[in-house]
Amino acid sequence: MFVYASCMVIHQTIPVYLPIQYEEPINYNYGYEVNDANTGDYKRLQETRNGDSVVGHYSILQPDGITRTVQYTADNENGFNAVVNNVGIPSNTERQDKDDSRKQEEKQEQSWQTQNEQSTSSPSLSQALIHHILKNWS
């Protein structure tokens, strides 16, 4: 006859006390500015973090000549909030020049079509070539 015996030891868990280590929040003050006349890149940024709060602003000169300025805050209570302002008058001169050029080409094409409709003969090779060049010029 075999007898098995087992013994279970019950013991109480000993609490371990570890000191709570708090990390200091990261604080910083950061900024930069770019003024590159060759590329047209003009922008600046300034940002400050104090604890869990971030305050900053940046501005950028957009391709249309408008300067966009953004002032922002971010924290745990209010989240991210920004106020955006655009200053300046858009400079669409390059776009306007392209639009004027297209209108002139359309006018020339309509003139050619009108002449072609009035003529009973088919267009000459030179007329077809001019039409092709004007149409693909844009």
- List pLDDT tens digits, range 22-45: 788 789 999 999 999 999 999 999
Residue 14 confidence (pLDDT): 78
Amino acid found at 15: P
Largest Cα separation within the chain, whole Å, is 125
Instruction: Name the helix (H) or strand (E) containing 74.
Output: strand 67-75
| Beta-strand relationship, 67-75 and 41-50 | unpaired
Tell me the whole-structure pTM to 2 decimals.
0.51
Q: In what order do the strands lie in the sheet with 79-87?
A: 28-36, 41-50, 53-61, 67-75, 79-87
For CA atoms 95, 97, 101, 107, give the dihedral sign.
positive
Q: What integer best gives the mean pLDDT of the chain?
A: 78
- Tens-digit pLDDT profile for residues 98-125: 666 676 777 666 665 555 555 444 555 5
Task: Identify the helix (H) or strand (E) that includes residue 93.
Answer: helix 93-118
